[in-house]
Structure 1
Amino acid sequence: MAEPQIAAQFLRHVANCVELTGHSAAGLLARIGVTREVLEDPDGLIPLASFVSFFEDAAELVRNPHFGLHAGRLSGSDSLGPLSFLFLSAPDLRTAFTSFTRHLATMQQASRNQFADEGGWATFSYGVLDQSLTRRRQDAEYSIGAMVSLARQFTGGEIELREVRFEHERVGDYARYRDFFGCDVFFEQDCNAIAMDGRYLDARGRVLSPSLHPILEEHLQRLAGRGTAASLSEQVRAMIEQAPLDAPPDLAEAARRLDLSVPTLHRRLTAEGTGWRKLVHEHRMETAARLLRNSRRNVSMIALDVGFAESASFTRAFARHFGVPPGRYRKGEGAAQK
């Protein structure tokens, strides 16, 4: 599988935020092999791993554990390239989140990106799916913070959040999170997400003309058309990864969404060297590994989180998959730990 990519324009805003602290971003850019010319290229792509690494190194350089939130607070109409303009030109906030969610994959691969509007609640969630990228807290806090900043700009500040959730454990002062988001913030959760009252979704935009929205959508659709179509196993893997842990996807439903029969889905996955059960199992193991790295939940709780009835069978399955049992993996042992 090709290395996941992200639009170089996304890194430009982060590099500029480093410069605003009085530090030079040149050394960090050189470390990941990216020049300023690449950052200014509207069609430029860089490895997602380089972007995430730059963010973590930048936080250490400026000695700010909340650097991701800081960069998110400063997000504006050009911080996410055409996606920022797409969001801010939508006719209403519902369309802004829906269209952003639909087109993010065009500019950032290997990410989970969902928007749900149900039961009076609206929820936007985000996460990097590449489990090998273990240092990604700054990216998560920036991405959630940037979406909140865009939503506030869109509505002229007339929006209040109900809650914010992060996958990782809290680092630094909780008051920083509370002050920025203006609501309760929870850590060591199943996903990175913001939740708000659904009544805000009808709010009209106050920044850009809605006439720009279809033009930007067409542009992003053309960009998407230039990419290589995902393999069937990649499409299935994305479905599995996007589903909540407590509501795993159904095989028949996945086949229906792909316009395939269940036997055909099995046959084509086998031809690609994998299978439905294998993909589900890999997702469970990768999720368990992330929870072991980024949370303080005990092994029994993590076993239940990823669908095992008891911890003994989970421990055996984990050891077979990673070569070490969960406790040793948490301590940093094993070839899979990066």
Structure 2
Amino acid sequence: MNARVGIPHAMLQDPQGMLPLVAFTSMLETAACEFGNSTLGLELGKECRLSSIGPVSRLMQTARTVGDALEKFTRYFGSIQTDTHSTLSVSDGQARLAYVISDHAVRFRVQDAGFTLALEYSMLANFLGSDWQPSCVEFEHAAGDDLPFYRQQFDCPLRFEKRENALIFPARLLTRPLRDADENLHARLEAELAGTMALRTRQLDFIASIEAWVASSLCRSDVTDIEAVAADFGMSERSFQRKLAACDISYLDIRNRVRSRIARCMLAESSLPVTSVALHLGYSETSAFSRGFKLQTGESPGEFRRRERIAAR
């Protein structure tokens, strides 16, 4: 799946790397479609270990209480997932751990909601014990045919088509102390994480977000014209072009660069026929893709694939 959104396998294994959110959500949605599994995100989220979410996991474990841990989780949620607003609030004896994606370019969010809420469910089970139970779970998306599976996984009342995704549970659980609390280590870990996040945020710039949008649209076989991308970024086409001009690049150059990157990934890391690669990239004819690819790389798709496979041995 990573090849189809132009993400080399090595990038996924880089602990210092960070994917634009639209690229991550595209991978989940593409995988769900490919496998015909509408609950794939939820299933993957429930299998995640706390350590899998990176440095913020250790920060949470060294906090004094569950409430302190969740406060740090929401504060540094950006180290796990970009362009997302996460909050922890308390009202009428109930705590609400909620999140909503703020990036309008992310149009497909069902798998991400299942993944993130299931991960948070497992995270709280790690702190409170496997028998903990939320009071309610809320989702932005509408209920589907897979509702029985959702009920089985969360075993509590479910609400759909809400303004944000959220786990709701008794607020008294927030005062539960954590066994690995360490004030000095916690302070050091927080300082390190804050510095890392500042660096990563600078890396995810405007052009990178557009590139991720193009890759996402290609995965869904959606249009990739400039009118569509400008609208999803909340701009008029003229304003969008003006902002690109300030970066000294055109949208056509960005789209061609993404197509080329995805083509190289798919040829090197998958066994899909060249015809399928061309179709995925929006070409109506394989010959047009082959000509364009050779102009960019100096090799035909077949020659490039053979050379990459020999080099990988």
TM-score band, normalised by shorter chain = 0.5 to 0.7
Q: Alpha-carbon deviations, 1:278-297, whole Å to 9, x = none?
A: xxxx7xxxxxxxxxxxxxxx
Following TM superposition, by how much is the alpha carbon of 1:158 offset from its aligned partner in structure 2, in angstroms? 4.5
Note if contact 1:29-1:35 (Cα within 8 Å) is conserved in structure 2. yes
Gaps of 5+ in 1: 1-27, 231-281, 283-338
Aligned equivalent of 1:92: 65
AA matched with 1:47? P
Note if contact 1:168-1:189 (Cα within 8 Å) is conserved in structure 2. yes
Aligned equivalent of 2:42: 69
Partners of 2:146 and 2:15 lie apart in 1 by 37
Alignment of 1:166-315 (within 5 A): 166-206=139-179, 208=180, 210=182, 212-226=185-199, 227-228=201-202
Which of the two has greater helix per residue? 2
Q: Alpha-carbon deviations, 1:293-328, whole Å to 9, x = none?
A: xxxxxxxxxxxxxxxxxxxxxxxxxxxxxxxxxxxx
CA distance 1:130–1:70, shift in 2 (3 Å): same
Following TM superposition, by how much is the alpha carbon of 1:92 offset from its aligned partner in structure 2, in angstroms? 1.3
Q: Alpha-carbon deviations, 1:161-217, whole Å to 9, x = none?
A: 1111101011233222122112101111111111100111112235x5545433321
Aligned equivalent of 2:76: 103
Q: Alpha-carbon deviations, 1:15-36, whole Å to 9, x = none?
A: xxxxxxxxxxxxx111112223
* RMSD of equivalent CA atoms: 2.5
Aligned equivalent of 2:116: 143
Alignment partner for residue 135 of structure 2, among 162, 166, 169?
Answer: 162
Note if contact 1:126-1:144 (Cα within 8 Å) is conserved in structure 2. no
Partners of 1:135 and 1:60 lie apart in 2 by 12
Following TM superposition, by how much is the alpha carbon of 1:59 offset from its aligned partner in structure 2, in angstroms? 1.2
TM-score (normalizing by structure 1): 0.56
CA distance 1:210–1:172, shift in 2 (3 Å): farther
Q: Partner of 2:22: helix, strand, or coil? A: helix
Partners of 2:169 and 2:26 lie apart in 1 by 31
TM-score (normalizing by structure 2): 0.60
Note if contact 1:117-1:198 (Cα within 8 Å) is conserved in structure 2. yes
Following TM superposition, by how much is the alpha carbon of 1:126 offset from its aligned partner in structure 2, in angstroms? 0.9
Partners of 1:158 and 1:87 lie apart in 2 by 20
Note if contact 2:65-2:174 (Cα within 8 Å) is conserved in structure 1. yes
Aligned equivalent of 1:33: 6
AA matched with 1:117? V
Q: Alpha-carbon deviations, 1:136-169, whole Å to 9, x = none?
A: 1000111111011000011122522111110101
1:54 aligns with 2:34: no
Aligned equivalent of 2:106: 133
Note if contact 1:68-1:138 (Cα within 8 Å) is conserved in structure 2. yes
Aligned equivalent of 1:252: none
Partners of 1:135 and 1:94 lie apart in 2 by 31
Gaps of 5+ in 2: 205-233, 235-313
Note if contact 1:159-1:200 (Cα within 8 Å) is conserved in structure 2. no
Greater mean alpha carbon deviation, residues 212-221 or residues 61-70: 212-221
Greater relative contact order (CA < 8 Å, ≥ 6 in sequence): 2
Note if contact 1:84-1:150 (Cα within 8 Å) is conserved in structure 2. no
Partners of 2:2 and 2:132 lie apart in 1 by 36
Paired residues, number: 205
AA matched with 1:66? T
Partners of 1:192 and 1:51 lie apart in 2 by 18
Q: Which has the larger radius of gyration?
A: 2
Note if contact 1:154-1:205 (Cα within 8 Å) is conserved in structure 2. yes
Aligned equivalent of 1:14: none
Percent of aligned positions that are identical = 30
